[in-house]
Structure 1
């Protein structure tokens, strides 16, 4: 994880701690005035501002209490002591907006309690908005109401949102919003469960189990968090001057789109959580269950930046062992930037796991980071809990990172029905400089057992300068695919494709290790630099297969390619250009086809004498051209007599003459007796690598 990212996460942790201290303070029943609601009637206060909560008959209603609290400067408390059994408040008109700091605590009603780790809340104060009027909201906090608290209420059946926030540093905790009292059935509000229209540093839920809200069944998003209108109330020292002040919403420990126990879906009709708008920075979505929603689980949209999505279960049940699917993607980043998606379970969704998209907009979906997630598996990482689409998809999006060089950043992207990782672009858009590093793709958490994706492990269609490095990729329909006429300059280094780095485990992909097609151009598969070659082994198809005119300038060097099966025609070819079996060399090498059907060297013999190894070979190819010749050692020749290339051995450079011929007589580095069979490839200056040459054995 990069230094700036670590500093940003540390800084957000400090912010979270400060806000939780504020939450603890808000839970204390200290107030300038306290009003105790003793009636379920919906009558107004007889004389607002006189300090007495009393309608014309002397009863203290919720409406009257809010009226008095608004007139009384300072932090006020509304508690409940309703007798007679019925504790549902049926509102006939919208409640007054709340314009001063106010705590509304439904847990003060007798026999009320917040949830535990294994039980639902027992909430007795219910606000029913079915007769409150057109577009009425449940509770609405406006300017002046900073640092308010709503606790222990059931808020349902309003035509608008359950709660609307237009102020700062408020806390919403231990409520059921959009459901019945038990949290077992929907009683929908007509818009969002909680609508943060403006405002900074609002907390929904909290770090403790008892802070949990159930936000489900609503006809909008469960939580809609728009950009703040003002600077935040809490400001912290910023060790990185490039980071803006905190302004986002903190969404912590809730159940969003499920019943109170997290065992069944109660869908919010849009997304579980929507974070949107330019200026919406540093929102935190942590330790929530976000499942069962009609749209995406979490959507970060339209310029929202620096959102942290961490420790959530998205698309699964509370135990993480069964699916409660969101109806679209688990996480959608659309024109959102610098999102950190870390340590989540993102599985079981109807769409993909994570979808990063950049539709027409001046706002780029870039610099998003996806680390340490289980995507497509259950909570153990050992069994599939598939997303229907790709595990991770990036469309028209650039500069995003999946995984990282630190093993702690590794994602398990396995068990999905689509591709593991899909990078693509639409015409006139770009998908540049994305990175897929250090992940298990089609492999379970142990790194030993295949748990394949139904599509390709890493599928790049139109991506440019993608780095695919140091991943384990196995058990998928194919390992890596590079296709499309703008798929260029992608780099594939240091991956183990079909087996682990030691060659101990066999989890070959069902087709080919690496497939290049449809004019994919100038891509690099491996390198002769130590540690940068790929292992490409044990596949049902070829090791590397390249097809189509215009699929050229693709360098395949320094890899370990062995034990690939092919079929009856392409029997065990390590590298296959055009799919017609071993291509015969031709004079002057003036071909049209994949990698221009580059000729391979013709190995004549390899002698061992007194500890020295002498090779005789010839290359017939393009005249007056410099070629890189790479040599590989093998434990056996393939039945075709050509290839593969089990161990990269060494390289040399040759120059063809005017007739296109380069004669090679050279001493090789010592050859291990366990791998006495030599093969080679030729690569021209543009990067066109040949198939493997014929195989020769060391003789004395």
Structure 2
């Protein structure tokens, strides 16, 4: 007797097959009016980028692509529509977007999973809001984009409450936190702050912190070049108070130079009593040179804990602080070994208490800095 397949499975298979068909929306002008799209699936012509996003959002069963056959700058009159469907937007390095005093583009919630933003330019953002934001959308790719930010502007790329977002080969100048991955305190994100994201091969110049991870775990930060930050080049912090720091991150093969703060640092989020856990981060193979602070700064003041972090294989030279500075009483079992070159720093090569040379402690039965 033939096996009867349940109806709901047939419907699901049909939807999967249907979604595999992709529509392409080609933007034909640099205008920013509501606009319209004409044509038939799979090819549409749209008078504005705004119209293309609206049309792509309306086809929830189709993965869409937005491309351009025009070059130049689109000057926005307001924030673009939020992307709420899977879409690939490819500027082909010929189109830039001038946003002014508002957030430019947001990819929102699981409906925008698997979206891509490729080869677009962004200029003129002056508001504290971010230029591109990913919120609750996973498995996304942000690649080959260029951001020119104001000195007090928010993030060029802000990834919040999202899993497995890749930020690769973007060029950013300015901004407060140029590339920022973080988790909020609201449910369900508080219960599951895993990200598994990737930040690789980006170039960041200026800005407060080149790359910031706030309550973000399992992020690979690799091969980025960060210069002339007004704060730390790479900053691990807390988005909110509680035992939810940034842990299990891999920070490798980055170059951080010429900044006004530390090369790599751990910090809280503001005033008051802070509790944060920053454990098991790997800081390896980085070049941290000529920064005004320490090469690597791991403070453990108040209720902030820094435990089990590994610092190895780095070149840490010419900084105006210590090469590696681990401060406070809540630091333990941090491993510092086989760094390629720690030399020429204004402070100590390795400072375990932030107060100078740690003396020998014969018959050590107490607990000193870093558990020594």
- TM-score, normalised to structure 2's length? 0.79
Q: 1:157 and 2:114 equivalent?
A: no
Aligned counterpart, 2:50: 63
Q: Deviations over 1:61-88 (max 9, x none)?
A: 1000000011012311000001xxx610
1:142 corresponds to which of 92, 97, 108: 108
Hey, what's the Cα distance between the residues in 2 that align with 1:197 and 1:224?
A: 8
Q: 1:34 and 2:17 equivalent?
A: no
Alignment of 1:342-353 (within 5 A): 342-353=284-295
Call closer, same or farther: CA 1:330–1:410 in 2, change over 3 Å. Answer: closer
Aligned counterpart, 1:591: none
**Structure holding more strand per residue:** 2
Aligned counterpart, 1:216: 173
Aligned counterpart, 2:95: 125
Q: Which has the higher contact order (CA 8 A, sep 6+)?
A: 2
Deviation of 1:367 (Å):
1.2
Hey, what's the Cα distance between the residues in 2 that align with 1:50 and 1:522?
A: 72
Hey, what's the Cα distance between the residues in 2 that align with 1:32 and 1:273?
A: 34
Q: Deviations over 1:114-171 (max 9, x none)?
A: xxxxxxxxx32110012xx5xx212100011011111111112222211101111111
Deviation of 1:359 (Å):
2.9
1:194 corresponds to which of 151, 157, 166: 157
Hey, what's the Cα distance between the residues in 1 that align with 2:130 and 2:161?
A: 14
Alignment of 1:289-688 (within 5 A): 289-302=225-238, 303-315=245-257, 325-334=258-267, 335=276, 336-361=278-303, 363-376=304-317, 386-396=318-328, 397-404=330-337, 409-424=338-353, 459-460=357-358, 481=359
Deviation of 1:246 (Å):
5.6
Gap regions ≥5 residues in structure 2:
1-19, 239-244, 268-275
Hey, what's the Cα distance between the residues in 2 that align with 1:189 and 1:248?
A: 29
Contact 1:53/1:59, CA 8 A, preserved across alignment:
no
Call closer, same or farther: CA 1:90–1:488 in 2, change over 3 Å. Answer: farther
Hey, what's the Cα distance between the residues in 2 that align with 1:421 and 1:398?
A: 14
- TM-score, normalised to structure 1's length? 0.43
Hey, what's the Cα distance between the residues in 2 that align with 1:413 and 1:37?
A: 53
Hey, what's the Cα distance between the residues in 2 that align with 1:49 and 1:188?
A: 43
Aligned counterpart, 2:75: 90
**Cα RMSD between the aligned structures?**
3.0
Aligned counterpart, 1:274: 212
Gap regions ≥5 residues in structure 1:
1-29, 108-122, 180-185, 206-211, 232-243, 258-266, 316-324, 377-385, 427-455, 461-480, 492-520, 524-700
Hey, what's the Cα distance between the residues in 2 that align with 1:301 and 1:39?
A: 42
Hey, what's the Cα distance between the residues in 1 that align with 2:21 and 2:298?
A: 46
Hey, what's the Cα distance between the residues in 2 that align with 1:329 and 1:75?
A: 43
Call closer, same or farther: CA 1:203–1:331 in 2, change over 3 Å. Answer: same
Max Rg structure: 1
Count of matched residue pairs: 324
Call closer, same or farther: CA 1:294–1:189 in 2, change over 3 Å. Answer: closer
Call closer, same or farther: CA 1:77–1:488 in 2, change over 3 Å. Answer: farther
Call closer, same or farther: CA 1:60–1:394 in 2, change over 3 Å. Answer: same
Deviation of 1:45 (Å):
3.9
Hey, what's the Cα distance between the residues in 2 that align with 1:357 and 1:490?
A: 23
Hey, what's the Cα distance between the residues in 2 that align with 1:488 and 1:61?
A: 74
Hey, what's the Cα distance between the residues in 2 that align with 1:488 and 1:75?
A: 67
Hey, what's the Cα distance between the residues in 2 that align with 1:214 and 1:189?
A: 18
Q: Deviations over 1:418-454 (max 9, x none)?
A: 111111179xxxxxxxxxxxxxxxxxxxxxxxxxxxx
Aligned counterpart, 1:249: 197
Hey, what's the Cα distance between the residues in 2 that align with 1:307 and 1:163?
A: 23
